Amino acid sequence: MSDRAPPLLTVRRLRVTFPGEQGDVVAVRDVSFTLGRQRVGIVGESGSGKSTTGRAIMGLVPKPGRITADEMRLGATDLRGLSERGFRRLRGRRIAMVLQDPKYALDPVMTVGRQIAETHRAHVGGGERAARQAALAMLEAVHIRDPERVFALYPHEVSGGMGQRVMIAMMLIAGPEVLIADEPTSALDATVQTQVLAVLDELVRGRGMGLLLISHNLHLVAGFCDRVLVMYAGRIVESCAAGQLHAATHPYTRGLLASLPDLHHRRTMLPQLQRDPAWAEP
């Protein structure tokens, strides 16, 4: 987390626009941030542009969406105007993404072990044997107790928490520098959520990776990340150290925090968020 090391990911004035019948819809407006060897969280409600930001960095914004940025770099690689071929060389090996629900993100007709091994062969090379060994080691790294047995299972045979650990294993096997996790634990039970986050944390720290955690859950991001970016209507309205989220100053962040039910402070009525159109303005 030293300030002098060059950032793993640099984004400056990122805009994502989708053409619509009544003019363009700007999903992401002038988003700027850098990511070092740390954990940065993006929080916001549905439609705030947090997932689109992650997808833009991965080169996964579908046509006819348009991406513009003053700067968008992965290490020294310029991501602006990179071709699909160029992105394919980066994805998996240098930057990877964990999605919300392993039920949909894993191939249902391939054993989980083969899926992990396939990633290894595609990005690292080497033979089938080496890939199998690497996949088994990776399953062990995500704390799966019996890797040999789980290797041969199909996605429908594993639980949600195990599926998400399989996803993490698959995403980390080629040793990327940056991991983008889009609601990685939202589909999981609370107690399993904690376990998966612990696994993610251990690997991201151990390998000196950068993690961009996208979530709607303020408490989760505050407890897990180093820094938090709060998005509203496509814009970053507040950026603060995660430990200081409770002292956030933007009325949107304050409104969100206040509207959460709290086990320790039971109130009859929760304060409702009053949206101010000015928040969407720069």
Partner 1 sequence: MIRLDRVSVRFGSGARRFTAVADVSLDVAAGEAFGLVGESGSGKSTLLRAIAGLVGHAEGTVELAGTVMPRRRPRAARRLVQMVFQDPYGSLHPNQTVDQALAAPLRVQRLGDGERRIAAALHEVGLGAAHRFRFPHQLSGGQRQRVAIARALIVAPPILLLDEPTSALDVSVQAEILNLLTRLRQEHRLTLLMVSHDLAVIAHLCAHVGVMQQGRLVEQTTAAALAEGRVHHPHTRALLEATPGFTGTVAAD
Contact residues for partner 1 (CB under 8 A)? 45-46, 160, 189-194, 216-220, 223, 255-256, 259-264, 266-273
Residue closer to partner 1 (CB basis): 90 or 218: 218
Report whether the peptide linkage leading into residue 108 is cis, meaning its omega lies within 30 degrees of zero.
no
Residue closer to partner 1 (CB basis): 80 or 219: 219
Residue 261 CB, nearest distance to partner 1 (Å)?
4
Residue 252 CB, nearest distance to partner 1 (Å)?
9
Show Cβ contacts of residue 143 under 8 Å, excluding neighbours closer than 6 positions. 165, 195, 199
DSSP 111-156: -HHHHHHHHHHHHT---HHHHHHHHHHHHHHTT-S-HHHHHT--GG
**What are residue 29's phi and psi, to 5 degrees?**
-120, 110
Residue 239 CB, nearest distance to partner 1 (Å)?
19
Provide the strand spans (E) within 123-243: 178-182, 210-215, 227-232, 235-241
Q: How far apart are CA 180 and CA 168, in angstroms?
A: 11
Residue 249 CB, nearest distance to partner 1 (Å)?
18
Task: Walk across the sheet containing 178-182 and list its strands.
Answer: 95-98, 178-182, 210-215, 39-43, 227-232, 235-241
Residue closer to partner 1 (CB basis): 4 or 264: 264
Residue closer to partner 1 (CB basis): 63 or 267: 267
Residue closer to partner 1 (CB basis): 22 or 268: 268
Residue closer to partner 1 (CB basis): 52 or 119: 52
Residue closer to partner 1 (CB basis): 19 or 47: 47
Residue 265 CB, nearest distance to partner 1 (Å)?
9
Contact indicator for 182, 214 with CB cutoff of 8 Å = yes
Q: How far apart are CA 101 and CA 183, in angstroms?
A: 8
Cross-strand bridge partners of residue 24: 19
Which sign, positive or negative, has the C-alpha torsion 80, 86, 90, 91?
positive
Show Cβ contacts of residue 49 under 8 Å, excluding neighbours closer than 6 positions. 16, 27, 28, 29, 31, 231, 233, 234, 235
Residue 229 CB, nearest distance to partner 1 (Å)?
17
Residue 189 CB, nearest distance to partner 1 (Å)?
4
Residue 197 CB, nearest distance to partner 1 (Å)?
10
Residue closer to partner 1 (CB basis): 128 or 157: 157
